[in-house]
Amino acid sequence: MKLILLGPPGAGKGTQAKRLEDKYGFVQLSTGDMLRAAVAAGTETGKKAEAIMARGELVPNEVVVGIIAERIEQPDVAKGYILDGFPRNVAQAEALDEMLKGKGTALDAVVELVVDDGILLKRIETRAAETVGGARADDNAEALKKRLAVYHEQTAPLSAYYKGKGRLKAVDGMKEMDEVTRQIEAALGL
């Protein structure tokens, strides 16, 4: 199963990815983790990424896609993978599709966790108020509002992109965690 979980910050993508990983053996692939691993391993793409990051620049799409291309060849992803943090925009999605096409494969599905921004904001405010010793610096309503604005501007258009490709499966991300998992499994035919 080759999968992307899509949804705004706080929608529960990480939680659901971990559940799918634990139950089905799909590997959650974080682009940040993959970049760091490629640099540490000294791969050709990792060397390119290291030089770019050393200059304080963002790693371009083609380098990130190259790292994903290397990573999905590894034996531990034989049962499948869940991309985490990529793609973030339509240009990245197109680059990913081209790379996969070149390998003679494609994504199986993109599962979108549909959530209500207002409820997400209330949740984060409640969590921040209940956290003993103070919340993380980015675990507050103002930071979430900014992250949601960036998501809606840059990442939300992926819904239409993948719907047009017939790969989008929407689930109600506002349900209880176990129910969201059941909806994802049903959407994927698991």
User: Which of the following is catalytic: 23, 79, 136, 146?
Assistant: 136
Q: Are 35 and 48 contacting, i.e. CB atoms less than 8 angstroms apart?
A: no
The sign of the torsion formed by the CA atoms of 151, 21, 116, 126 equals: negative
Active site residue 88: yes
**Token digits of residue 161:** 């992109």
User: Which of the following is catalytic: 13, 48, 167, 169?
Assistant: 13
Active site residue 127: yes
**Token digits of residue 132:** 């003993």
User: Which of the following is catalytic: 19, 88, 145, 163?
Assistant: 88
Active site residue 2: no
Work out the number of other CB atoms within 10 angstroms of the CB of residue 98.
11
Q: Are 38 and 90 contacting, i.e. CB atoms less than 8 angstroms apart?
A: no
User: Which of the following is catalytic: 19, 36, 127, 182?
Assistant: 127
Active site residue 47: no
User: Which of the following is catalytic: 36, 123, 145, 147?
Assistant: 147
The sign of the torsion formed by the CA atoms of 179, 181, 186, 190 equals: negative
Q: Are 5 and 111 contacting, i.e. CB atoms less than 8 angstroms apart?
A: yes
Active site residue 122: no
Chain position carrying tokens 């291309």:
69
Catalytic residues: 13, 88, 127, 136, 147
